[in-house]
Amino acid sequence: MTSRIHYTKPSITELEVGYATDAARNGWGEHCYDYIHRFEALFREHLGVKYAIATSSCTGALHMGLSALGIGSGDEVILADTNWIASAAPITYLGATPVFVDVLSDSWCIAPERVEAAITPSTRAILAVHLYGNLCDMDRLLAIGEKYGIPVIEDAAEAIGSVYHSQRAGSIGKFGTFSFHGTKTLTTGEGGIFVSNDVELYEQVLTLSNHGRARSQVKQFWPDKIGYKYKMSNIQAAIGCGQMERIEDLIARKREIFYQYRELLADLPGLAMNPEPEGTTIGAWMPTVVFAPESDISREMLQAAFVAANIDARVFFYPLSGLPMFTPRQENRLAWDLPNRAINLPSYHDMSRADVNRVAAVIKALLHV
């Protein structure tokens, strides 16, 4: 049998291993934050933002950012129905309500016109999730936010390397969050980061991230408010420092794999891939193919074909409003339809061109090409 092609795995070198080993041996006591502060500085520089707080997850970063905005019971946050649960869960942690709207047909990201239609007196934020590294229409979302006095937040968990008109994804809204899960372009194993250019918001999140202890507080073990424990460990940050020293190569390799797929699949009828509109660059975290409805190719057919080829492809996100904990919003037609005819393709850094050809061959066979 042919060797298995995994859909994702991290790129770890001796650089990351060396830093993690040093953190394990020496990163204690007065040095327990050394790699964390270094990682935050490297990420700030890469993203072009003033402030960054490394966290244990993107979910935690989003939770604290929403909390710092004062979002709570009775409030609403608008986001796309096509997303992973981690984008919606922190809204519910605060007692607020996620309001799910439909997506655009090309980027599969939140539809700005649906956002504006969903705004009520209870709307407190718009959450722009850059799905699979595709970019939301930030100009339109920011204009809507300004019109109604509502902050636009970026969940850029999947968008390391994505650039919107010269601004890196995650650096554009009121605040941004990223994920460093083992599946992501840059990894710390688990982990995330909160970023912002707003000093007041940064100070609030910094306090929340340390059990509510403000850094100006001179009393030891004296929290000023109830906070959270979402810190990244020094060892995780050490791995992240190694990854940040390689970040441009990590992004470039992801984009290279994406363009190999696009070259092989470009002329196939009724097939769409991640878009890259003029003036933007996608980080290409997860190359995705969406089949036209008339192709009659289903998610189940795709899964079966990839299993038969010993390839680990990944299903497109189900609509959040279709999950048992939420109220169905079947009027979000695209969000409900897309998962039935789409699949995420393998794209780990060490894939060979032969691996990419094998994946593309499965798709071509389904289309009888």
Catalytic (active-site) positions: 184
The amino acid at 1:
M
Cα 351 versus chain centre, distance = 22
Tokens for 133, please give them.
Answer: 């590294």
Separation CA 209–CA 33 (nearest Å): 14
DSSP helix/strand/coil, 296: coil
The one-character DSSP state at 221 is: T
Only one residue has tokens 């016109």, namely 113
Rounded-to-10 torsion of CA 239, 244, 248, 250: 20
Question: Is-contact 258 284, C-beta < 8 A?
Answer: yes
Tokens of 239: 């791995």
Instruction: Yes or no: say if 338 and 108 are a contact pair by the CB < 8 Å rule.
Output: yes
How far apart, in Å, are the Cα atoms of 245 and each of 46, 48, 186, 191, 286?
10, 16, 11, 17, 22
Q: How, if at all, do strands 123-129 and 76-80 pair?
A: parallel
Share of the chain residues as helix, strand and coil, in percent rounded to the nearest 5:
40, 15, 40
Among residues 319, 247, 211, the alpha carbon closest in space to that of 44 is found at: 247
* Helices 299-308 and 353-366: angle between axes, nearest 10 degrees: 130
Let me know: does 316 contact 288? Beta carbons within 8 Å.
yes
In sequence order, which residues have a C-beta less than 8 Å from that of residue 6 and are 6 or more positions away? 312, 346, 348
**Structure-token pair, residue 33:** 């934050």
User: Nearest to residue 310, comparing CAs of 362, 262, 273, 353?
Assistant: 362
Instruction: Look at residues 176, 181, 144, 152 and name the one whose alpha carbon lies nearest to residue 162.
Output: 176
